[in-house]
Amino acid sequence: MLKKGVERKEVLRALGEVFRAHGYEGASLTLITEATGLGKGSLYHLFPGGKEQMATEVLADIDGWFELNIYAPLREASDPARGVAAMIAGVDQYFHSGDRVCLVGMVALGAARDTFATSVDDYFARWQVALASLLRRSGLSRSQAQRRAEDALLTIQGALVLARARNDAGIFRRALSDLTARLLAP
């Protein structure tokens, strides 16, 4: 029997990796059953809403991780340099130094975007707001902070795409390093 909270998290993690590897439409139930080790019966018992519910919960789970490990620390950091460094470290960890793809960005590019539009938008919007609030505290104007936060998100996404396209994780590493400097520039 499932220990409700615990095991569902594990299932969501496996689901996330399947969606990451094959996209929303490419993640067939066969792949999903293999990745989770759960038969269709269990799967539809856990997620009566089918694939769409699975993806929704996976996105929510990702959002939760970022809220805890990225957004909240950004909001609460007192020292801008430390705050930025912590975010960069968290991002590097989450994306396995460029080996892992961003599921949210992937969904955004595909046909499934419309279905998950608000989740996708929220993910980036809240990140931008949290980062901009930190940058404001470092002395930037509101518009400067917003613009620079936007640049940060876009750099991370672009680095993930390019790193994967060229199969070169160094791209991601360099991008994060440059980004740190750019965010903290006067």
Q: Least distance (Å) from a copy of itself to the CB of residue 115? A: 13
* 78 vs 167 by CB, closer to a copy of itself: 167
Per CB under 8 A, 68 contacts a copy of itself: no
Per CB under 8 A, 106 contacts a copy of itself: yes
Q: Within a 10 A sphere around the Cβ of 148, how many other Cβ atoms?
A: 20
Instruction: Give the one entry of a copy of itself, DNA, none that residue 130 binds, where binding means its C-beta sits below a cut-off of 5 to 8 angstroms depending on kind.
Output: none
* List 2, 29, 68, 111, residue binding a copy of itself (CB under 8 A): 111
* List 9, 10, 39, 118, residue binding DNA (CB under 7 A): 39
Instruction: Give the one entry of a copy of itself, DNA, none that residue 117 binds, where binding means its C-beta sits below a cut-off of 5 to 8 angstroms depending on kind.
Output: a copy of itself
Per CB under 8 A, 159 contacts a copy of itself: yes
Residue 24 is encoded by which pair of tokens? 């929303």
Instruction: Give the one entry of a copy of itself, DNA, none that residue 65 binds, where binding means its C-beta sits below a cut-off of 5 to 8 angstroms depending on kind.
Output: none
Tell me whether residue 42 is exposed, middle or buried, using C-beta atoms within 10 angstroms of its C-beta: 0 to 12, 13 to 18, 19 or more: middle
Closest CA to 131 of 60, 59, 179: 179
* List 45, 96, 142, 182, residue binding DNA (CB under 7 A): 45
* 70 vs 77 by CB, closer to a copy of itself: 70
Residues in contact with DNA by CB under 7 A are 1-2, 4, 25, 27-31, 38-42, 44-46, 48, 50-52
Residues in contact with a copy of itself by CB under 8 A are 21-23, 25-26, 101, 104-106, 108-111, 113, 117, 120-121, 123-125, 147, 150-151, 153-162, 164-167, 171, 174-175, 178
